[in-house]
Chains A and B, each alone.
Chain A
Amino acid sequence: MQRAQISALREGALASAGLLVGIVPWGIVAGVAMVSAGLTQSQAVAMSVLVFAGTAQLAVLPLLIAKAPLWVMIATALVVNLRYVIYSGVLAPHFEHLPRRWRVLLSYVTVDGVFALFAGRYRPDDGNPHKHWYFLGGSLVMWCAWQLSSGIGIFAGAMIPLDWSLEFASTLALIALLIPLLYDRAVTWGALAAGAVALTAARLPLNLGLLAAIAVGVAAGLAVARLGPRNGEGRD
């Protein structure tokens, strides 16, 4: 490794160290929530390492407890992860010159915080040859913090009595995660519409209510964005 690569790696790692305050409690909660939802410790560790997507993990747990069908849980994980499709589109031009194994690695480790740091710092056409090292440095810090804090939660979760209702922590964590997502009027109205439909359509078979709620929520968001003044436009 060259000096410039090490220095970019270290800069990324230092920048994302500021995100640790957020990710550590989050990982502990995810660990506890997985075990409380009935996953064995090895299943919970496998989910943390293989999936490595906290929001999707937390989103499927209430559905698993409610005995939703497998395809509904996977469809939900997909919808919650759709934001990564946007990130992927933004990151692609930065990484297109890299070998395939690099692109596989950087895809796997992408998380919200590092994406935000990276997108705020580099432009696709800046010609910086070491920026993927910055991304990797930040991502490695987040990966290690996530796995360690999940591990703590998984092993602590097994010791916490079931009647503490700690599985509710995954719903509470989703609330903490939802608030910053409601950054403009259209997104907020879309989410509220989705919540209302989810409530009224809860009796639909096969948890179709959840998918109907998401569809109506997206439609409501688009409609409000079209009707109202263009506030919050361009903030992503």
Chain B
Amino acid sequence: MAAESWLVWALIAGMTLIAFLTRAVFILPGSHLRLPPTAERVLRYAPAAAIMAIIVPDLALVHGTLSISIENPRLVGGLVAFALAAATRSILATIVGGMLALTLVRLI
């Protein structure tokens, strides 16, 4: 499973650049640059959309095929995690509960 070394280093380099530039984009020029309101609206929706788009296939696809079933451990673990995250807002409870549910479905 280990990814090729050059790929991981290239990923780290690219992410370093992205992480710095997104934070510095207005701070560093130091002028009175402002974000246009349209861009600000788009930026409100993008992060949540991206995170959900990563989560959902990871839970519901098994080897590329849709698997909506209580026998799919990742789906059950993920749904338990959603419920716990909404109820507790605790990262720890969400992860522990999700991992426990995943393990439980695997064992049964």
Contact = CB atoms under 8 A, between A and B. Distances in A.
Interface of A: 22, 25-26, 29, 37-40, 43, 46-47, 50-53, 55-57, 59-60, 62-65, 67, 70, 73-74, 76-89, 91-93, 95-96, 98, 100, 103-104, 106-108, 110, 162, 165-166, 168-169, 171-182, 186-188, 190-199, 202-203, 209-210, 213-214, 216-218, 220-222, 225, 236
Given A74-B15, A95-B27, A104-B28, A198 B53 contact: yes
A85 B44 CA distance: 10
Nearest to A192: B52
A205 to B, nearest CB: 13
Interface of B: 1-3, 5, 7-12, 14-16, 18-20, 22-35, 40-61, 64, 66, 74, 77-78, 81-82, 85-86, 89-92, 94-95, 98-99, 102
B35 A89 contact: yes
A79 B50 contact: yes
A217 B52 contact: yes
B81 A172 contact: yes
B6 to A, nearest CB: 10
Interface centre among B20, B66, B89 (most CB of A within 10 A): B20
A219 to B, nearest CB: 8
A159 B11 CA distance: 24
B19 A52 contact: yes
B57 to A, nearest CB: 5
A85 B80 CA distance: 32
19 contacts: A38-B1, A62-B54, A85-B35, A88-B24, A92-B29, A110-B23, A168-B99, A171-B54, A171-B58, A174-B51, A175-B78, A176-B91, A178-B48, A181-B51, A214-B49, A217-B50, A217-B52, A218-B46, A236-B44
Main secondary structure of the interface of A (DSSP, over half): helix
Contact of B53 (A98, A188, A194): A194
B74 to A, nearest CB: 6
A220 B46 CA distance: 11
A30 B44 CA distance: 24
A80 B28 contact: no
A92 B27 contact: yes
Contact of B11 (A40, A64, A181): A64
B41 A225 contact: yes
B47 A79 contact: yes
B95 A173 contact: yes
Given A29-B91, A82-B46, A85-B25, A217 B53 contact: yes
